[in-house]
Amino acid sequence: MTYIFRLGIVNSTTTQPTIIKIKRNSIMNALELYHQTYTYDTSNNLTHLSHQANSNTWQQTIVIHPHNNRGTETPQSTTDFDTNGNLLTLNNIGTLRWHYNNTLN
């Protein structure tokens, strides 16, 4: 296994990698240091990503298929979505509550 890490600055209001626009005068208040760790298998496939910051910590695990050396899909539980197809939980946020018109509460 190979471990690689990086340090950087991220917007503290985001819960996942994203592109955001911030006014220049407020940018310093919205940024914080983070640490990411990458784990690779013996074939140099990314198998794990860990993100740590004061405001948010998350992980992602990638399972590599043994026959084709590619990432495999993670099976989704049928209880992750309601009858309208709305996602009910997120790992970083928790339970999502939806209004009758399919908008988030």
Digitized pLDDT (tens) for each residue of the chain, 105 residues in all: 556 666 666 666 555 555 445 455 555 566 788 889 999 998 889 999 998 888 888 888 899 998 888 888 766 666 788 888 888 888 777 889 899 898 988
Q: How is the chain split into domains, by residue range?
A: 2-74, 75-105
pTM of the model: 0.52
What local confidence, expressed as pLDDT, does residue 24 receive?
54
Pairing of strands 89-90, 31-40: unpaired
Side-chain-side CA neighbours of 50 within 13 Å: the count stands at 9
